[in-house]
A and B are shown apart, each in its own frame.
Chain A
Amino acid sequence: GQNIDQPTEMTATEGAIVQINCTYQTSGFNGLFWYQQHAGEAPTFLSYNVLDGLEEKGRFSSFLSRSKGYSYLLLKELQMKDSASYLCALTKAAGNKLTFGGGTRVLVKP
């Protein structure tokens, strides 16, 4: 089976940095995705890590350590529109189904 843990909620100030951690235990692992979901909307793809290390994409970066079963999503220069849920998800094989964590709701305050 798989077990994916993320904090339920985080609050941060506009312009600041927030780091959302995701830890997992799984019997098989291929890659880790981060999705953003605004309230009432569909999840949208943010990042994908299959190798250890940091992937940077503008204000968002994602890190993976396969040996530690750990990932984080780093949001820099927070904007009000970044208030959303952030979902960590795993795949066991290429093109396989996603297994999601419960999501972390991030609230950005002025």
Chain B
Amino acid sequence: DARVTQTPRDKVTEMGQEVTMRCQPILGHNTVFWYRQTMMQGLELLAYFRNRAPLDDSGMPKDRFSAEMPDATLATLKIQPSEPRDSAVYFCASGFGTSGSAPEETQYFGPGTRLLVL
């Protein structure tokens, strides 16, 4: 049963520390998305990649956030330095959406990383 995996599942850190979140997309998917969910803002896109190339990172604060895909099986989201306002659940999702037809356009979400910055 193919799934998106994310590590760590939970992270508590202090303000100013670096946080790295990892995502393994479903094998064969060519698009990886990073979303953030908070009570106030809901689910919002931070960045996404297609075939490992960044397509859109306009939702990401560039001064402290960075997203990369070192290879097709790993995506990373890094926050440095972290701040209390970064506390949220960070979801990675993957898909294979270039044909314009469901279910290929469907994005499958990982379990999320719950981040708490004190």
Contacts and interface: CB of A to CB of B under 8 A. Distances in A.
A48 to B, nearest CB: 4
Q: How large is the interface on B (under 10, 10 to 19, 20 to 34, 35 or more residues)?
A: 20 to 34
Contacts, number: 64
Contact of A48 (B35, B93, B103, B112): B103
Contacts of B91: 42-43
Contact of B105 (A31, A35, A100): A31
A50 B103 CA distance: 11
Nearest to A43: B109
Nearest to A45: B106
Contact of A96 (B43, B97, B111): B97
A97 B97 contact: no
A41 B56 CA distance: 25
23 contacts: A31-B102, A31-B105, A33-B107, A42-B109, A42-B110, A43-B91, A45-B106, A50-B100, A50-B101, A87-B43, A94-B97, A94-B98, A94-B99, A94-B101, A94-B105, A95-B50, A95-B95, A95-B98, A98-B35, A98-B43, A98-B107, A100-B43, A102-B42
Nearest to B46: A97
Contacts of A97: 33, 45, 48, 56
Contact of B100 (A33, A44, A94, A101): A94
Contacts of A41: 111
A95 B45 CA distance: 14
A98 B111 CA distance: 17
Interface centre among B33, B48, B91, B107 (most CB of A within 10 A): B107
B14 interface: no
B38 to A, nearest CB: 11
B41 to A, nearest CB: 9
B18 interface: no
Contacts of B110: 42
B42 A44 contact: no
B107 to A, nearest CB: 6
Contacts of B35: 98
B24 interface: no
A110 B75 CA distance: 43
